[in-house]
């Protein structure tokens, strides 16, 4: 396994983060969904009290992976959890253990912060990712269904419609 140097992202990394986001969107066949830009990334990830964080993995000097994560809360545990929003390894760099190292780093952060859980979602068609996560000991929560309200439906709900 090649050693990955993982560090917390900085404001100057906004362009790189956006490239990773676009690469992930392309892989997930969701390129048309990306409205993020460097300014939005800087204004959300690098504020005085950010609600999400980013780490970047480097193989030597080359950035090869990134992860965006934030805290959620478990009422049953009365503890914060760590939620992985996105993890992406460049396609040409996969199979070298970088994804495992990124997940280990996130698990370490969760343990250091006394989180009760570390969770994420995966698209149901992404069998390579599902198999990878299961091999690491992650369990799918098949009895749960994710719901989302966004765009016009979000505005309608907020407005009482």
pTM confidence score: 0.92
Q: What per-residue confidence (pLDDT) applies to 72?
A: 97
- Structural domain count of the chain: 1
Q: Residue 53: give its domain's CATH number.
A: 3.40.630.30
Q: What per-residue confidence (pLDDT) applies to 146?
A: 87
In tens, the pLDDT along 52-83 reads 999 999 999 999 999 999 999 999 999 999 99
Q: What per-residue confidence (pLDDT) applies to 76?
A: 96
Instruction: Say how far apart CA 148 and CA 10 lie, in whole Å.
Output: 30
Q: What per-residue confidence (pLDDT) applies to 2?
A: 84
Q: What per-residue confidence (pLDDT) applies to 86?
A: 97
Residues taking part in catalysis = 133
Q: What per-residue confidence (pLDDT) applies to 77?
A: 96
Q: From the first residue on, what is the mean pLDDT of each consecutive set of 10 residues in the chain (161 residues)? A: 93 98 95 96 96 98 98 97 97 95 97 97 91 92 89 89 66
Instruction: Say how far apart CA 140 and CA 109 lie, in whole Å.
Output: 21
Domain that holds residue 143: 5-158
Strand order in the sheet with 79-89: 5-8, 53-59, 62-74, 79-89, 117-120
Q: What per-residue confidence (pLDDT) applies to 161?
A: 66
């Amino acid at each position: 396994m090649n050693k990955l140097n993982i560090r917390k992202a900085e404001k100057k990394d906004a362009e790189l983060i956006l490239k990773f986001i676009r690469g992930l969107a392309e892989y997930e066949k969701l390129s048309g969904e990306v409205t993020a830009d460097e300014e939005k990334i800087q204004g959300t990830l690098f504020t005085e009290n950010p609600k999400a964080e980013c780490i970047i993995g480097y193989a030597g000097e080359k950035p090869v992976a990134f992860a965006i994560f934030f805290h959620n809360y478990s009422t049953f545990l009365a503890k914060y959890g760590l939620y992985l929003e996105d993890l992406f390894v460049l396609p040409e760099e996969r199979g070298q253990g970088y994804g495992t190292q990124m997940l280990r780093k996130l698990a370490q952060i969760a343990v250091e912060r006394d989180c009760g859980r570390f969770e994420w979602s995966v698209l149901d068609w992404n069998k390579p990712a599902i198999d990878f996560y299961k091999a690491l000991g992650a369990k799918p929560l098949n009895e749960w269904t994710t719901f989302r309200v966004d765009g016009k439906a979000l505005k309608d709900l907020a407005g009482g419609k």
